[in-house]
Amino acid sequence: MSLYPDKLDTVYYFGTCLVDMAYPDAGMAGIKLLQQQGVQVIFPQEQSCCGQPAYNSGFPREAMAVALKQVQAFSARDCPVVVPSGSCAGMMKTHYPELFASHPDYYDIKAFSDRIYELGDFLLNALGARYKDKGEPVKVTWHSSCHARTEMRVTEHAKALLRQLDNVELVELEHEHECCGFGGTFSIKQPELSGAMVQDKINDIVATGASRVITGDCGCMMNIAGAMEKQGIGVRAQHLAEFIWERIHG
């Protein structure tokens, strides 16, 4: 059985809170990459948060209420829901069914979760996207969110897309598997520990000699970019979708 649907003329797009509030260009780049593959993209205006902040803070009932709202917002059509975030996608695909395991709505929730796909994975494996690089030579490194790596398992898919770009040199981080210290509310509850973790991540990034760090999650990007900017480190952080869109247009 294929992991990806056979009919791919239409998809839903879940924008995520951070795309909406801080990185709209990254979100729009994801939509344009999908449309470039001949796919109609539907963006339900009723969508909001995936519920991860409540879930991670120990409020399962509140997280369930948010989850039900998202299921309803994406219920009109039975098509894939593409998410430009491994973290939000992991919440919706993995933790929604866990939250509703003993609930009467479990099967509706599970059917919704089965339609969740992370953007890079979907572009590469469902749509077979192949890109021609029109940009100047650049050295980049890749940071994966913890959820993208352990729950969605899409890290290698994102790096495969980057390796399609002829003028992009991808240098691996020595400690790629380590968290950047964001973790949503973790960075607020444990600022000193979070600060030490992002410093380790920055040291790893700088050691590669890359001029950009690419990631598929805006939360990690905000945390890493903010810390680097505060220290005057001239490494640009960019979402995978925005970077690819920029490269294929020169």
Provide the pLDDT for residue 1: 52
**pTM for the full predicted model:** 0.95
Residue ranges of the chain with per-residue pLDDT less than 50: none
The residue ranges of DSSP E strands in the chain, in sequence order, are: 10-13, 40-42, 81-83, 116-118, 138-143, 168-171, 212-215, 236-239
Provide the pLDDT for residue 186: 86
Could you tell me which of 87, 83, 85, 80 has the C-alpha nearest to residue 112?
80
Provide the pLDDT for residue 213: 98
Cα angle vertex 63, ends 86, 178, to 5°?
Answer: 35
Provide the pLDDT for residue 184: 79
